[in-house]
Amino acid sequence: LPQVVIIGRPNVGKSTLFNRLVGKRLALVDDQPGVTRDRRKGLAGLASLEFEAVDTAGWEDEDEASLPGRMRAQTQVSLRDADAALFVVDSRAGLTPLDEEIGQWLRKQEVPVVLIANKAEGNSGQSGILEAYSLGLGEPIPVSAEHGEGVADLYSALFPLISDRAEQLELEAEQAAAIAADKAREAAEAGEELEEHDPTEPLSLAIVGRPNAGKSTLVNRLLGEDRLLTGPEAGITRDSIAVDWEWTDPASGEERTIKLIDTAGMRKRAKVVDKLEKLSVSDGLRAVDYAEVVVLLLDATRGLEVQDLKIASKVLEEGRALMIAINKWDIAEDASALFNGIRAALDEGLAQLRGVPLFAVSAVTGKGLDPMLSAAFKLREDWSRRVPTSALNRWFDDALAANPPPAPGGRRIKLRYITQVGTRPPRFVIFGSRLFDLPTSYERYLLNGIRRDLGFGAVPVRLTLKSPK
Ligand code: GDP
């Protein structure tokens, strides 16, 4: 995007103009150290004209005496990458020596300048506007940044200065996007066979939930007497251990290894049930780091609570495959209504929980545990799945055809190509140009589509949009 720098002495209304141009779009603070530390940048729009606006404010409270020198330094730096400058003066206050100094300096620069006589709402500031002619920077444009007046004239003045540049930059960006998409396509096709997942590998499973949900009871039930302690292992901290345990899937007769990630005290405590020693939820969440699949245990006597949703979001944020089990099913009242209620709350509540596998279990009687474990293996497969590039792009083309990306300012945002760059959790990158204009709702449309149409269900999927610079 072309860059337009807003210049002027303190209090002429630079920031107001900046805010007017940038509107509700995100304003980014420039993070370069040194003189430029106070520049604000934002994506600005004036009718169909788009540019990056740079506000050079930020030294308004500086010591008066040192101001001219500091300003010159600031202005010089900010003009370096600028395609045009908006030089703002205060039409009510009239010209000051500082305005004249900046004007003189600007006249010697190569960058095209639009002179703005600000604070000219209504018919005010006439004499200041006349005075501004004397700067020798062409016709001043009367504007009221605060009231939004004169914006059309500002557009007419700025358009010829940067529209060519905008077009050129856009063309370059599109060419770069096409090249990057080609490269990604080649890389994806070459690396298609990468990191195939082996479903017979031990499954790392963590059980999380609020205190008293029944985690310890469940772990003891699962491990029974013949548990085998394997930890501590590399990558697992001292306070977490992994317990390897052979589980036979009664449905298929297959023997599988499950590596139960156990946090400090969970087993021990179950023996000596001391309610005062309950681990906090965050202690339990550490196990999530080492797990592939995480079971969030709910308490049937309490239902789904806010705290549970928080834990669930946390697990998905960490990129782990999540399933939910309603424990204490043996003592649940009105069981089917409870199950349906929780199912509905998950599907209609947080979007990322839609379709998350839900089970009813009892850690005490063992009911529902085998189907849950069997589903955990299936869930890990989804979490580890790589979608063939051709199938992925067929889906992508259909998704774009069914609901084309928007065309702000009459120019369509171009999305070119999608590739899966990782698994566990599945990660996708979409290449395109003009992505800064893509609404988050459209991004969500694509993300939801990937999850729904490509069979990822509630597996956390990561989507990144890339436009090569
Ligand atoms: P934790 O804090 O999540 O580890 O919970 P505990 O395993 O210590 O269990 C809390 C309480 O719930 C204990 O009194 C357990 O006996 C009880 N409990 C756990 N699971 C079940 C279950 O499936 N059914 C019933 N009826 N009680 C359970």
Based on the fold, state whether residues 294 and 361 are members of the same structural domain.
yes
Based on the fold, state whether residues 377 and 393 are members of the same structural domain.
no
Based on the fold, state whether residues 101 and 188 are members of the same structural domain.
no
Q: Can you give the three-state secondary structure of the chain, one letter per residue?
A: CCEEEEECCCCCCHHHHHHHHHCCCCEEECCCCHHHHHCEEEEEEECCEEEEEEECCCCCCCCHHHHHHHHHHHHHHHHCCCCEEEEEEECCCCCCHHHHHHHHHHHCCCCCEEEEEECCCCCCCHHHHHHHHCCCCCCCEECECCCCECHHHHHHHHHHHHHHHHHHHHHHHHHHHHHHHHHHHHHHHHCCCCCCCCCCCCEEEEEECCCCCCHHHHHHHHHCCCCEECCCCCCCCCCEEEEEEEEECCCCCCEEEEEEEEECCHHHHHHCCCHHHCCCHHHHHHHHHHCCEEEEEEECCCECCHHHHHHHHHHHHCCCEEEEEEECHHHCCCHHHHHHHHHHHHHHCCHHHCCCCEEECCCCCCCCHHHHHHHHHHHHHHHCCCCCHHHHHHHHHHHHHHCCCCCHHHCCCEEEEEEEEECCCCEEEEEEECHHHCCHHHHHHHHHHHHHHCCCCCCCCEEEEECCC
Residue closest via CA to ligand 1's atom 7 equals 214
Query: Where residue 367 sits, what CATH number does that domain have?
Result: 3.40.50.300
Distance of CA 399 to the CA centre of its chain: 21
Distance of CA 319 to the CA centre of its chain: 14
Distance 315 CA to ligand 1 centre (A): 22
Residue-wise burial string across 81-116, b where 16 or more C-beta atoms lie within 10 A, e elsewhere: ebbbbbbbbbbbeebeebbeebbebbeeeebbbbbb
**Selection from 354, 357, 351, 362 nearest residue 377 by Cα:** 357
Is 395 labelled a binding residue? Answer: no
Prior bond of 460 cis (ω within 30°): no
Tell me the per-residue pLDDT of 333-380, one tens digit each, with 9 for 90 and over.
Answer: 999 999 999 999 999 888 889 899 999 999 999 999 999 999 999 999
Residue 163 in domain: no
Is 19 labelled a binding residue? Answer: no
Residue 346 in domain: yes
Based on the fold, state whether residues 319 and 462 are members of the same structural domain.
no
Q: What is the pLDDT of residue 226?
A: 42
Of 383, 416, 446, the last residue of a domain is 383
Q: What is the pLDDT of residue 468?
A: 66
Of 327, 360, 383, the last residue of a domain is 383
**Selection from 397, 427, 389 nearest residue 415 by Cα:** 397
Is 355 labelled a binding residue? Answer: no
- Tokens representing residue 353 in the block: 């929980």
217 C-beta closer than 6 A to ligand 1: yes
Tell me the per-residue pLDDT of 148-195, one tens digit each, with 9 for 90 and over.
Answer: 899 889 988 888 888 777 777 777 777 777 777 777 777 766 665 555
Based on the fold, state whether residues 406 and 455 are members of the same structural domain.
yes
Residue 112 in domain: yes
Q: What is the pLDDT of residue 227?
A: 47
Q: What is the pLDDT of residue 123?
A: 82
**Selection from 383, 381, 239, 356 nearest residue 295 by Cα:** 356
Residue closest via CA to ligand 1's atom 6 equals 214
Is 65 labelled a binding residue? Answer: no
Q: For residue 141, which phi and psi values (nearest 5 degrees)?
A: -95, 115
Based on the fold, state whether residues 233 and 367 are members of the same structural domain.
yes
- Tokens representing residue 191 in the block: 């690396």
Based on the fold, state whether residues 457 and 321 are members of the same structural domain.
no
How buried is 5 (Cβ within 10 angstroms: 0-12 exposed, 13-18 middle, 19+ buried)? Answer: buried
Residue with tokens 């780091």: 289
401 backbone φψ class: left, alpha, beta (φ>0; ψ -120 to 50): alpha
Of 383, 411, 432, the last residue of a domain is 383
Based on the fold, state whether residues 356 and 418 are members of the same structural domain.
no
Distance 215 CA to ligand 1 centre (A): 7
Q: What is the pLDDT of residue 119?
A: 93
Residue 160 in domain: no
Number of domains in the chain: 3
Distance 363 CA to ligand 1 centre (A): 7
Query: What is the domain range of residue 314?
Result: 203-383
Along the chain (469 residues), what's the average pLDDT of each consecutive run of 10 residues?
88 87 60 48 79 71 61 74 92 90 88 93 87 92 91 88 79 78 72 66 90 85 58 41 82 90 50 41 68 95 91 92 96 93 90 92 94 95 90 94 86 86 90 84 94 91 83
Residue closest via CA to ligand 1's atom 25 equals 328
278 C-beta closer than 6 A to ligand 1: yes
d(CA 67, CA 56) in angstroms, rounded, equals: 13
Q: Which of 210, 217, 276, 361 to mutate to test the pocket of ligand 1 (most atoms within 8 A of CB)?
A: 217
Query: Where residue 447 sits, what CATH number does that domain have?
Result: 3.30.300.20
Residue 42 in domain: yes
Based on the fold, state whether residues 178 and 267 are members of the same structural domain.
no
Distance 297 CA to ligand 1 centre (A): 10
Is 103 labelled a binding residue? Answer: no
Is 9 labelled a binding residue? Answer: yes
Based on the fold, state whether residues 334 and 404 are members of the same structural domain.
no
Based on the fold, state whether residues 140 and 80 are members of the same structural domain.
yes
d(CA 173, CA 71) in angstroms, rounded, equals: 33
CA atoms lying within 13 Å on the CB side of residue 5: 22
Based on the fold, state whether residues 16 and 34 are members of the same structural domain.
yes
Q: What is the pLDDT of residue 68?
A: 66
Question: What's the length of the chain?
Answer: 469
d(CA 11, CA 58) in angstroms, rounded, equals: 11
Residue 164 in domain: no
Residue 11 in domain: yes
Write the CB contacts of 159 (distance below 8 Å, at least 6 apart in sequence).
Answer: 46, 49
Residue closest via CA to ligand 1's atom 20 equals 214
ipTM attached to this prediction: 0.95
Residue 38 in domain: yes
